[in-house]
Amino acid sequence: MVEIISVRFKNGGKQYYFNPDGKQFQLGDGVIVETSRGTEYGECVQANSMIDEMELIAPLRPVVRVATEEDKKTVARNKEKEEKAFAICQEKIAEHGLDMKLVEAEYSFEGNKVLFFFTSDGRVDFRALVKDLASTIHARIELRQIGVRDEAKMLGGLGICGRPFCCSQFLDEFQPVSIKMAKTQNLSLNPTKISGTCGRLMCCLKYEQEAYEDLVKKAPKQESFVETPDGAGTVSSVNLLRQTVQVRLDSAPETPKCYHNCELCVIRSGKGRRPEDYVEPPLEELAKLRRQPEEKEAQMSEEEALTAALDAAFGRENPAAEAPAAPQEEGQRPSRSRRNRNRSRRPKGEGGEVQTAQAPQPEQRAREEGQQATRPERRRPPKPPKAVQEGEGPAAAPKEGGEKKPNRRRRRRPRGGGEKPQSGGQD
């Protein structure tokens, strides 16, 4: 691992790594560094950090020192000189009659060298211009030809989207952009609509290209012969972002229908003849291709999302507990609390007398809950004319003669301080 800092020399320019040499730098600090062009002034855009040595392309150059107030004044004086040198160079270009457009003049930090950037359609012989500028400015002169993209990056401006140029804001390097990207994204091939201010294809075409390439793999091609839930047909248009297609059915070619990609079965991809030996399956079989609607639980409506957000804002942990209980469906087992409540209200004993259930002891409650968890679900028999005592087995049937004897083993009534009643015991 190597300790580095990142330095930028121009707004929107490329970042370069330098060795801090044991010093600590903060974001936005001015630094004086040694470059291939000599001593330069830059701005720290990344504080001290560690990176792997494999990421380094060339040996790191050290940071000379932290920029002082005098260094900042020197940079300001160089800016004033650049304006004068730019005007002088434009005059000399007009005098020599050269076909070149001057873009920018840049002074070195030490002030002994001037670099002029220009654009031109072809090669330019500027040897006489260099001699004339050197005798006027009294400094080393260097002229460098750049492209139209670099010109837009240096000058800056607003794009058709209304925002500053990407190249002058955050793009360190230009990515290759081709007309194939515009075709893949189904954009207009009119050059005036897909070209930037520089006259080249817009850099933003590269941003979504990978996403479109993934969507193209899942979508059928134009004019493909496909099977749909409503019959066979031909694809007339494709919407990559929505993953839907328009299909002209053979049964109704005048009214194309929209289908999702998962509802189609491609028989012949792309343009070509329809298979001669193709036999269209019956509609019952094609109906299986229809997309199944998603479960309601997976689809949260806007109202449910708003309710959940309000519950989280007001700190209601269990909003479902505040809502009224939903009615039990037929055959659905009620909750334990409802069963306990019903049993406490159920008539007990003979003659339909209601007995008050005592609160079970802790040991008895734990034993009963264990039995309740392991007991299989049973449906209650219809209520007889008289109350029937509840036991572990089926409800006791009334004896002959109309007399009914209560079952001695009761689950919800503790006996003897919570002791387990013995089978066959008497009260």
pLDDT single digits (tens) 374-404: 454 555 555 555 444 444 444 444 444 444 5
The winner for highest mean pLDDT among 35-39, 237-241, 378-382, 408-412 is 237-241
- Average pLDDT value for residue range 76-83: 89
Contact 347, 354 (CB under 8 A): yes
Domain ranges of the chain: 2-67, 74-146, 153-214, 219-289
Burial, 239: exposed, middle or buried (Cβ in 10 Å; 0-12, 13-18, 19+)? middle
Burial, 337: exposed, middle or buried (Cβ in 10 Å; 0-12, 13-18, 19+)? exposed
Give the CB-side neighbour count of residue 395, counting CA atoms within 13 A.
17
Contact 157, 164 (CB under 8 A): yes
How does pLDDT run across 188-224, given as a tens digit for each residue? 888 888 988 888 999 999 988 999 999 998 889 888 8
Contact 197, 155 (CB under 8 A): no
What architecture is the 74-146 domain classified under in CATH? 2-Layer Sandwich (3.30)
Contact 51, 1 (CB under 8 A): yes
Q: DSSP letter for 9, please.
A: S
Pick the CATH number of 219-289 from 3.40.190.10, 3.60.130.10, 3.40.50.970, 2.30.30.30: 2.30.30.30
Contact 21, 6 (CB under 8 A): no
Residue 392 identity? E
Q: Helices 69-96 and 127-137: crossing angle, nearest 10°? A: 130
Pairing of strands 61-66, 38-51: unpaired
Nearest 5°: the CA angle 160, 166, 171 is 160
pLDDT for residue 410: 54
pLDDT for residue 329: 45
Give the tokens for residue 371. Answer: 């039995």
159 CB contacts (<8 Å, ≥6 apart)?
Answer: 165, 166, 196, 197, 202
Question: Per-residue b/e over 17-55, b at no fewer than 16 CB within 10 Å?
Answer: bbbbeeeebeeebbbbbeeeeeebbbbbeeeeeeeeeee
Mean pLDDT, the chain, whole residue set: 75
Tell me: pLDDT of 405 over 60: no
Burial, 162: exposed, middle or buried (Cβ in 10 Å; 0-12, 13-18, 19+)? exposed
Give the tokens for residue 23. Answer: 């010093």
